[in-house]
Amino acid sequence: MTTKAPTLRFERSFVEAGHKLVAGADEVGRGALAGPVSVGMVAIDATSAKQIRGVRDSKLLTPADRVALVPKIQKWALAYGVGHASAAEIDALGLMAAMRLAGARAWGQVVATARPDIVILDGNHDWLSAGEPSLFDDAAQPGCDAPVLTRIKADLQCLSVAAASVLAKVERDAMMTGYATDYPEYAWEINKGYATAAHRAALLGVGPSDLHRRSWRLTPEQPLMPAVDIAN
C-alpha cells in the first residue's frame, strides 16, 4: 500500500501554545484472542526533531522493516516506552482499563527520562488518561497525567504516533513468538494471537490456553470472533 509518509506537522502545531515536548501513543493487540494488549509511546522535542525516514503505521510495514526501524526510532526519540497488560489483566479489568494500565506502564518508562507536555493518542476515545489507581495491580505506577488529545488516523499522519505503533508491534510480536515455543498448536509465531482461521481451528481442537483472554468468546458455546487480518 502506498500512503503519504507521516510528518511532524501536527506535533509542531503545539509549540506556539508552549508544548515543546510532545508524545505520540498507540496500541496494538486490542483485537487479539491471546496475549497482551500493548501500548507504545514516543516523546520528541517538537522544536528540534527531524523527520525519520521509513516510519509508517506498523500495519503498513513488513515485519523485517519494523524490526530494522526500532533502533532508529529509539535513537531519534527523546524518550520512549512500551507497556503491556496481560490476558489475565484484560479478563480482570476489562479491555479499556487494561489498555490504560498498559499505557500507564509505557508512560512510566517515558517520564523516567522526560515528561511530555501533551500526548497525541490514535483514535477517537481517550482511554489513556489516568483513572482510579485501584483499577491497577501496580497501583504505585501513576497513569498518564498530561493532556491527551485524540486524533483519528494519527498513526497514518503523525510521525510520533506511527513510531510508537512500530515499537509496540515489534515488542508484542516478539513476546507472542516467544510464547509459541510452549504453545505450538496455536501457531502464534504466525498469527501473533489474532483470530485467524488456523488459530480458531486450534481453539476448537484443544481449547484455550492460560494466555487466552478467557472473558472473550473462544469456545463453541461462545462463538468465535470472525477471522481477522493479522497485519495489525
List the grid coordinates of 227.
477471522
Look at the domain 9-179 and name its fold.
Answer: Nucleotidyltransferase; domain 5 (3.30.420)
Mean pLDDT of the chain: 89
Neighbours of 68 (CB within 10 A): 14
Expressed in angstroms, the distance from the first to the final Cα of the chain is 14
Please indicate if the annotation marks 145 as binding a ligand. Answer: no
Beta bridge partners of 25: 41, 121
Residue 1 pLDDT level (bands cut at 50, 70, 90): very low
- Residue 4: the pLDDT is 84
Contact (Cβ atoms closer than 8 angstroms) between residue 55 and residue 163: yes
pLDDT above 90 covers a percentage of the chain that reads 80
- Tell me the per-residue pLDDT of 121-156, one tens digit each, with 9 for 90 and over: 999 999 999 765 545 545 556 789 999 999 999 999
Please indicate if the annotation marks 27 as binding a ligand. Answer: yes
Angstrom distance (rounded) from CA 195 to CA 140:
34
Q: Phi and psi dihedrals of 220, rounded to 5?
A: -60, -30
- Tell me the per-residue pLDDT of 72-93, one tens digit each, with 9 for 90 and over: 999 999 999 999 999 999 999 9
Give the C-alpha distances (Å, rounded to integers) separating 51 from 6, 9, 105, 158, 231. Answer: 9, 10, 27, 11, 25
Domain range list for the chain:
9-179
Please indicate if the annotation marks 182 as binding a ligand. Answer: no
Contact (Cβ atoms closer than 8 angstroms) between residue 169 and residue 155: no
List the grid coordinates of 219.
469456545
